Structure 1
């Protein structure tokens, strides 16, 4: 939608000059010249908003870094087309459906006297060129006659609807003109009403839910299976196969990918602790299936497993969410201390308490108590007495337990390694381990053995041992879940020596909001600097920037109505609004200044700008809104991720346009009156009164003479 805004403004202005009786060439030149400064400033302001987004870190930078470059260069191309190609085409168009003839060159080029083969080759080349051009012209003529016939029939069929639309728009324009006159007569009421609307928008925004990313139906979910520690991999595989069979029977499931046993990190994501007793199943759904509905249908299957064995991840805790949000769950209670056993015991208590909270689901520990293991301590004195090196003892245990590859089986061009080790039953027996011999000496005479349960993993945070309790938000939003977690921890304080803090999605949310707040402030500064340079004034940019708070009101209300909430996507939309909503105000204020320079008093200039610039403002707003509508409606897989951005932009653009048509002219009138009073107070002479035209000042928005640019 934004790409056609410049062309709409130029073409509408050219059409306005055609309605004034000018020739196509004069109308194209005057129309493009009159708005070139305004659309250039509006395009630069829009591009300047995408600049800060490029350097934003976190989720926003990952999602919109490359897109910002694409949009910026696309807008530059649209500006070039609107100021070059479009006026040229408009100058040739007669307005009756045919193109006008090309103007002959002022000076006919003289062909230099070239003799010999060079002149012959030149004549051949020119002949071929004329042939190609003639063929192209013939094809174009046939196509034009065909399309002219079609367009005439379409125009005849659509004529009643177009006439009805024109009449409706004229009634709307007349109503707006009367409204603007009343607003200028009651400026205080307009300001008070605008302030009330702004406060109401702030109140609505304060009630919105906050998060890192919107809830996205990724068309998949993940199930993590964790049996009791020490369970053999065969038992884990059987349980995973049972889940696979149940999932495959559901018509919404398209594919299932299962991994059993220890799992490596994937795509830079730290997998939760895995072992022989763990498995993960990635379930992909068919195109028209909804994840929440499929998971609900499979709830009976999940209920067939003991509590704590299965963990279902459907939202931001899946791979996409962890890549963007950087967390394994919505919430993480991190418990740090030097005594890992004490930290683990307190983590179990916290997990039990959080599992009773209704706003949380999928409560789990970052690590289990661990796998059973046998510790072997070498008795160095006995080993020295037998003349056995401790490394030989370690190699013997590893060879019998883990196995060794003494040779390979050769099958044609394939080499298959042969692994030799003790049978599974004997490897699990401590008595068998003690009977192993090292250089003829039984192992029990060289070592001390004991059975224990070691930590499955040791995580550290800021050089301290850490155990985390993960949980996902089930209902009530992230803020409500954080309050419930804080209450649960307050009821069960940590023992001395342990430190507890709550992290997870709220930390990523705080970082993203902080980065986007900086981008919003920087965008405002850049837009102000561009407007100050364009209008050569430090005051008029504030008039134009009034559109920004009015846009945030509409964005907040639209997000509230759509139930989208505040997240990274919607905040990016609000940042983008800074560069979009000022465009209408730029066009209006630029025309007001132009009319005042041409001799109109302030009130007449404001009313004339409202009359002349109403049509392009409405057209650009409608095209942008319609362009964002498919995204806002969430059409297609994964569109839920981008929908809040479109909702925020649509709501902000509609409110800003509606209020800009009234508030900006009133603010311009008040500021001009205030400037005159201020100059009168400080005793400045020669300043024009607010009701006097600005005559004699150069038109800095145009580099050409304004003699042919009528109002």
Structure 2
């Protein structure tokens, strides 16, 4: 009775005049079109089942070719996001005074405004030098190491094209060093996502040379820096530690100072008070009686009075003991030398850091260049030294290993669970036959859209594999039921595929349509999630074709010599 009513529903018979509206007419037209499509699919599958060997060879060649194509895909930890912000670090020659640095930054700003038109530029903010009070050192940037260092934060307007931020960064990298050859320029991560992915390191790539032999390690670090600069795609390559800053060293004659009733500490305190104020030696605060606000009171020699080395030599020295004050020139000699501006340690050992960024190339390709460079210089290290690579390269490889291992374990677990459910080792194998097609579709979708392999695309691969497996389960389960009714493997595969065509297409189509807006990467930060949608769409398109054609072919081939399960045994298993 239900079957006859369903037949009338499909044919549109018995429809009253009130029901024969535009929606019903559209439904009938759609049903006739889908039935015609189903018959065409049945004919195509019949042709494929008659040529199983050829279909298997074509499918195998497609998967092998896709695997070869996968070697052409780049690798990134996460996609870059165009947040409309640039973080330009500017480094003047070591020892540059703060006032001179400010003048240089003003000239650099004028050059930036020439490169970025006013219609695109929103704001420019400068952060120059280091804070005076030691407590603020915890909040400063690790890349700023002196009064000649600073950052220029550039914010672009929303009315810009996608990718225009990176184009401006490319132009600034080319033109600023030519206009200011005495200064060093490099970009740092401006968006929060990239800063988090760097895990506190000021660049995506960090090559560390560790060991006690600082002189030999410095030569190797400089050689690595020069070698990495020649690598295509590596930008902003620099050695973080500056070891040649000018220094004025005061050598105190302790014997003579002792004769005058002074100690080394007295001389150092007097110089600090004169040059850096008493706030460095003995901070003194005054509390406003009405507001309760504390103010630092400091005593310091005016800077305009210290204009030469002789002015420093004439600094008076005070002693806690009674005695006449002495001049610095009577007790000490001044000597010009060089000193490091920044000293780094990693696991207690002294370290030299070579930082680099990436432009117009994927991180995986740069990582291979870094591996070759590190292997080249490892044999030249002095005893007790070592080279270590940190940054996004290390994190990316660990994440890829974890996701790949998890994916393999997930497939194995799903296979074992299905083997228990189907009471068969063959049926789960046939169900997983669609997965090579899913992987191939993912590779082709990433290649066509010029998307690299990254964590979001791997997440999309896992999602598409789950849906592809569910569709294959639907087809193989119904084919087993048809075989239990007495059909041959070929007939059962053909009947199951034609009957389950609608739910398979509905499941895959709903997922594809749902992922389409995400794959376009629309909106602010859309580049971050676009690989998920692209991987899901490509994987489901290829997996659906594999489910509808290759899985029935494989089923009919492997089930030829397998005894069909009795109907009551199959029904008991399904319960």
Question: TM-score, normalized by length of structure 1?
Answer: 0.68
Distance change >3 Å, CA 655–CA 412, structure 1 → 2: same
Distance change >3 Å, CA 528–CA 436, structure 1 → 2: farther
2:554 maps to 667
Q: Residue 571 of structure 2: SS of its match in structure 1? A: coil
* Deviation by residue 1:414-469 (Cα, 9 ceiling, x = unmatched): 55333211122455754444433132344455556533222111223454322222
Alignment of 1:22-41 (within 5 A): none
1:241 maps to 106
Distance change >3 Å, CA 459–CA 189, structure 1 → 2: same
Alignment of 1:384-533 (within 5 A): 384-404=258-278, 406=284, 408=286, 410=288, 412-413=290-291, 414-426=293-305, 429-434=308-313, 435-439=315-319, 440-447=325-332, 449-478=334-363, 480-481=365-366, 490=376, 494=380, 496=382, 499-500=386-387, 504-533=391-420
Is 1:534–1:701's contact at 8 Å kept on the other side of the alignment?
yes
Q: Which of 36, 42, 51 is the matching residue for 1:177? A: 42
Q: CA deviation at 1:500?
A: 4.6
Answer yes or no: is 1:194 the counterpart of 2:65: no
2:218 maps to 344
Alignment of 1:251-400 (within 5 A): 251-262=119-130, 271-289=142-160, 290-295=164-169, 302=176, 305-307=179-181, 309-313=183-187, 319-326=192-199, 327-376=201-250, 379-400=253-274
* Deviation by residue 1:74-105 (Cα, 9 ceiling, x = unmatched): xxxxxxxxxxxxxxxxxxxxx999xxxxxxxx
Distance change >3 Å, CA 428–CA 670, structure 1 → 2: farther
Q: Residue 420 of structure 1: SS of its match in structure 2? A: coil
2:117 and 2:72 mapped to 1: Cα distance? 42
Q: Residue 398 of structure 1: SS of its match in structure 2? A: helix
Q: CA deviation at 1:574?
A: 1.8
1:427 and 1:522 mapped to 2: Cα distance? 71
Q: CA deviation at 1:390?
A: 4.1
2:322 maps to none
1:282 and 1:337 mapped to 2: Cα distance? 35
Answer yes or no: is 1:594 the counterpart of 2:476: no
Q: Residue 559 of structure 2: SS of its match in structure 1? A: helix
Distance change >3 Å, CA 308–CA 646, structure 1 → 2: farther
Count, aligned residues: 545
1:393 and 1:700 mapped to 2: Cα distance? 96
Is 1:337–1:466's contact at 8 Å kept on the other side of the alignment?
yes
**Runs of 5+ in structure 1 lacking a partner?**
1-14, 23-94, 98-148, 677-688, 704-711
Answer yes or no: is 1:626 the counterpart of 2:513: yes
Distance change >3 Å, CA 296–CA 462, structure 1 → 2: closer
Distance change >3 Å, CA 334–CA 615, structure 1 → 2: same
* Deviation by residue 1:369-422 (Cα, 9 ceiling, x = unmatched): 353333445555445545545444433333222212556384852553332111
**Runs of 5+ in structure 2 lacking a partner?**
320-324
Is 2:122–2:155's contact at 8 Å kept on the other side of the alignment?
yes
Measured on the aligned residues, the alpha-carbon RMSD in Å equals 3.7
2:267 and 2:3 mapped to 1: Cα distance? 96
Distance change >3 Å, CA 647–CA 244, structure 1 → 2: same
Is 2:441–2:543's contact at 8 Å kept on the other side of the alignment?
yes
Alignment of 1:100-249 (within 5 A): 156-157=21-22, 162-244=27-109, 246-247=112-113
1:699 maps to 571
Distance change >3 Å, CA 486–CA 324, structure 1 → 2: closer
1:587 and 1:270 mapped to 2: Cα distance? 57
Answer yes or no: is 1:649 the counterpart of 2:527: no
2:433 and 2:307 mapped to 1: Cα distance? 76
Alignment of 1:70-89 (within 5 A): none
Q: CA deviation at 1:339?
A: 3.2
Is 1:273–1:367's contact at 8 Å kept on the other side of the alignment?
no
2:415 and 2:142 mapped to 1: Cα distance? 47
